[in-house]
Amino acid sequence: MSDQTNNLALPYILPSQAQKHVPHNEALQRLDAIVQLTIAAQLQTPAETPVEGACYLIASTAVGEWTGRPGQIAVRQDSAWLYLTPKPGWRAFFADTGQVKAFDGAAWRNIAIGADGSLPMLGINATPDEVNRLSVAAPASLFSHTGQGHQLKLNKAEASDTGTLLFQTAWSGRAEMGLAGSDEFSIKVSGNGENWLTALSVAPDGSVRTPNRPIARASLAASSATPAAASRTGFDDFQIRQGGFSLGAAVPSGAGSRLIVPATGFYLLSLSASTLTSSGHGAAIEANGTTILASTSGPASASPSRETATTITFLNEGDWLALLHTGTAQYEFGSAKTELCAVML
């Protein structure tokens, strides 16, 4: 029978052994060092003022008192050095680098993740789960290049699946970009995490659409009329409408409804005024019943005529637009006749 254990070389208390406390205490000392092994540092010479119980990995270039003991672990016990020879499978925390390593029989190596290098889930300062298998809580995350470039790849199985980046506020979705249910790249936004609008989409052929960009082409229903001077005409028919344009209350001193601006920003406005006869007239795009933005004018004529006016202006959400008339003319209203086009830039 051996006088020590096979793995940790702990001394046995032998039959009829005198001073049994000696091997017992020696075994405790070895266990105290090896269990939850913490290596303060790898050194080639002993630390000048080692703390009792401190463990050091002796470097291959060891000199002085540690000469001839490369690769051993020096443990400070009772003001002397106790030397341990690591065996394959020993694990230790290296305090100077903050790494956990394992001894493979020749060197201490970072503990391998697995034969295929994978982990079922990983949390960095956060708790992963079955859906968010990689979870990171940090002020920032850096993905840098090795060489000249770096790609971040999101792969999905089928075109109808989702591969997107989701941006949240208080864990509620506010913006999403990527391939959402198709192979068309899109950017979507939401104010509450439930109702979503597509701000931009790019088809696989490269064509770009902005399905919620404010655009309107509006007029009165097809008809002819002679608005009185200083009166207004509004709108009751849309040829094109998207992005929230709507009709509001009836315009003051005139016919039709106000065209309500859905969002604050710069707009391209274009007015077309078609007349059948005129004794001299003018038509202007008016904002909020007070501000002239652009205007057209025509001379007296017994023949049909058409004038246009275009401008770029800044409008606020909730502003309203109408047409203000001067002079006297018989107007043609309707699509491609007297109408207003508005496009947010």
Q: What is the pLDDT of residues 111-168, one digit of tens each?
A: 766 667 777 888 899 999 999 999 999 999 999 999 999 999 999 999 999 999 999 9
- Please choose, from the candidates 138, 126, 121, 46, the residue with its C-alpha nearest in 3D space to the C-alpha of residue 83: 46
Pick one of 2.40.50.140, 2.60.120.40, 2.30.42.10, 2.40.10.220 as the CATH number of 215-344. Answer: 2.60.120.40
Instruction: Give the percent of the chain with pLDDT over 70.
Output: 91
How far apart CA 233 and CA 252 sit, in angstroms, is: 9
Residues 6+ apart with CB under 8 A from 340: 216, 217, 218, 219, 235, 259, 269, 270, 271, 272, 285, 321, 323
189, 175 contact by CB (below 8 A)? yes
What is the pLDDT at residue 1? 54
| Gyration radius of the chain over CA positions | 41
How far apart CA 105 and CA 186 sit, in angstroms, is: 54
What is the pLDDT at residue 20? 67
What is the pLDDT at residue 254? 86
How far apart CA 223 and CA 220 sit, in angstroms, is: 8
Helix (H, G, I), strand (E, B) or coil at 22: helix
Burial of 111 (0-12, 13-18, 19+ CB in 10 A): exposed
Number of CB atoms found within 10 A of residue 310's CB? 12
Q: Is the dihedral of CA 47, 51, 52, 56 positive or negative?
A: negative
Amino acid in position 121 = M
Q: Which residues of the chain register pLDDT less than 50?
A: none
Helix (H, G, I), strand (E, B) or coil at 342: strand
What is the pLDDT at residue 120? 81
How far apart CA 124 and CA 6 sit, in angstroms, is: 39
Phi, psi (degrees; rounded to nearest 5) at 268: -95, 120
Helix (H, G, I), strand (E, B) or coil at 260: strand
Q: Residue 203 corresponds to which tokens in the numbers above?
A: 């088809």
- Please choose, from the candidates 285, 279, 283, 280, the residue with its C-alpha nearest in 3D space to the C-alpha of residue 259: 285
What's the whole-model pTM score? 0.67
What is the pLDDT at residue 34? 79
What is the pLDDT at residue 110? 81
